Amino acid sequence: MHLLCSLDTLPADTSKGFLLNDISLVAINKHGNIHVYLNQCPHRGVPLEWQPDQFLDLDKNFIQCATHGALFRIEDGECIAGPCPGEMLTSIASKIEQGQVWVNLPCT
Ligand code: FES
């Protein structure tokens, strides 16, 4: 596994972008649970954020793609509104150990 960040740098209900081994990732802390996805919209394959580390909609309930506004559930990455309903963000396995977030990167 690869070290992503310290849990302290990802407070509850925030999102953050990372570049790890040339792979662009987004991590979200929702109520203390960490969810990590590839930073790539399944609609057109582009990065999701509208500004650095801004991946969530205004209410912080969904991940929102900046390009056409698709909304993805934070818990499983499924698109529930927008141009690609039912499509999924690519989930990255993660775990928290001793205050650090670790991820299992896909093979490149
Ligand atoms: S590229 Fe993300 S919704 Fe179109």
Domain boundaries, given as residue ranges, for the chain: 2-103
- CA dihedral sign of residues 55, 35, 102, 9: positive
CATH homologous superfamily of domain 2-103? Rieske [2Fe-2S] iron-sulphur domain (2.102.10.10)
Predicted confidence (pLDDT) at residue 108 exceeds the cutoff of 70: no
The structure's pTM equals 0.96
What mean pLDDT value characterizes the chain? 96
Q: Give Cα 39 to chain centroid, integer Å.
A: 6
- Is the beta carbon of 41 within 6 A of some atom in ligand 1? yes
Q: How far apart are CA 11 and CA 70, in angstroms?
A: 24
pLDDT digits (tens, 9 = 90+) for 32-65: 999 999 999 999 999 999 899 999 999 999 999 9
Under the banding of pLDDT at 50, 70 and 90, the label for residue 106 is: confident
Task: Tell me how far the alpha carbon of residue 67 lies from the centroid of ligand 1, in angstroms.
Answer: 5
Task: Tell me how far the alpha carbon of residue 70 lies from the centroid of ligand 1, in angstroms.
Answer: 6
- Segment 103-108 mean pLDDT: 83
